[in-house]
Amino acid sequence: MATVLPFNSPPSPHIIEQMVACVQGGGVLAVPTDSYYALAVGAFQQVALERLLGIKADRDHKPFPVLIGDISQLDQLVDEVPEIGRKLIQKFWPGLLTLVLKAKAHVSPVLMSELGAIGVRQPNHSLLCNLLIHTGSLTGTSANRTGQVPAMTAENVQHQLGSEIDLILDGGPTSGGQPSTVLQVEPELRLLRQGKIPLSAIQNVLGNRILPG
């Protein structure tokens, strides 16, 4: 079963070292976010990404979203952030808005859509963002088997996936609720998933017509 570490207060340097070592060694972690627990592997760890594909089977080739701890980490993942994207970041990050932007050429196909885009967000979870600064960007797909209810506790993650992952960071129950809203920014504005951030709030910021998904 997966090792469980406490994650409800600033972790000690020793625990951070364990987390970083797990990521760099191609491990799979479960981490609490501002909605549900997520399965996290290094965005540039191809072996770990392949492991994640095996765990999250039957996804119909949907790319995994990526979490960043700071806006500076965007540069490793996307070619550029257009002005529209910058406005949305300023208004809604950290928070439950995933932006789909043009990915850099070296990004793994596991993370990219057929159009060469990648979904990225900065979660509104200070402990997780601090961890992401140490580990680099991580995947943020829900910590459950495809088709099952997303996990809101470390215990539920252990029950569903404990035999297939390496480490669970126990931050207590997450808030649940609606997942992140997913908005394609390029090549055109398109709402891909309605979530916590309402479309009306996005339109108020942009003043643009957003196409339905």
3-state secondary structure 44-81: CCHHHHHHHHHHCCCCCCCCCCEECCCHHHHHHCECCC
- Total count of domains within the chain: 1
Let me know: does 172 contact 4? Beta carbons within 8 Å: no
Q: Residue 142: what pLDDT?
A: 95
Q: Is residue 211 part of a domain?
A: no
- Which residues form the domain of 38? 3-206
Q: Is residue 213 part of a domain?
A: no
Alpha-carbon distance 68 to 78, whole Å? 12
In the structure encoding, which two tokens stand for residue 147, read together? 């088709």
Say which CATH number the domain at 160 has: 3.90.870.10
Q: Is residue 32 part of a domain?
A: yes
151 phi and psi angles, rounded to 5 deg: -80, 135
Q: Is residue 15 part of a domain?
A: yes
Does the pTM exceed 0.85?
Answer: yes
Q: Is residue 212 part of a domain?
A: no
> Which segments of the chain have a pLDDT < 70?
58-60, 208-213
Encode burial over 197-208: b for 16+ CB neighbours within 10 A, e otherwise.
beeeebeeeeee
Alpha-carbon distance 200 to 202, whole Å? 5
Q: Is residue 92 part of a domain?
A: yes
